[in-house]
Amino acid sequence: MKNIIQNINKAFDHRIRLGIMSVLMVNESADFNMLKELLGVTDGNLASHTKALESENYISIEKQFIGKKPNTRYIATKEGKKAFKEHIDALEKLIQKS
């Protein structure tokens, strides 16, 4: 059974991180407000989970100003996309074995 779960990634255990990566896998990028609205989370909650994914080098964060308003944009890194795909593949294998 250990071989089945070895590629399940602890970084994606939380539903919010799973949601962030899911959005970023199908979109080139997403900004803070888009993720907040799609996932139904608070500012602080989203910020802490994006920071956790950034520290794993699974997402990159770009900050800029649009007019006078700050805008934060998130992009899945190559490493993040690979890790997330491996995580989803491991979950699918686990489900198939059950």
Taken in order of first residue, the domains within the chain and their CATH numbers are: 2-97 (1.10.10.10)
Which tens digit of pLDDT belongs to each residue from 5-45? Answer: 777 899 998 999 999 999 999 999 999 999 999 999 999 99
DSSP 72: E
CB 11 within 8 A of CB 58: yes
pLDDT of 51 > 70? The answer is: yes
Which tens digit of pLDDT belongs to each residue from 58-93? Answer: 999 999 998 999 999 999 999 999 999 999 999 998
For the chain, report the end-to-end CA distance as a whole number of angstroms: 11
Kindly give the pairing relationship between strand 59-66 and strand 30-31.
Answer: unpaired
pTM: 0.90
CB 21 within 8 A of CB 9: no
Q: How far is the C-alpha of 29 from the C-alpha of 44, rounded, in Å?
A: 20
Helix, strand or coil, per DSSP, at residue 28: coil
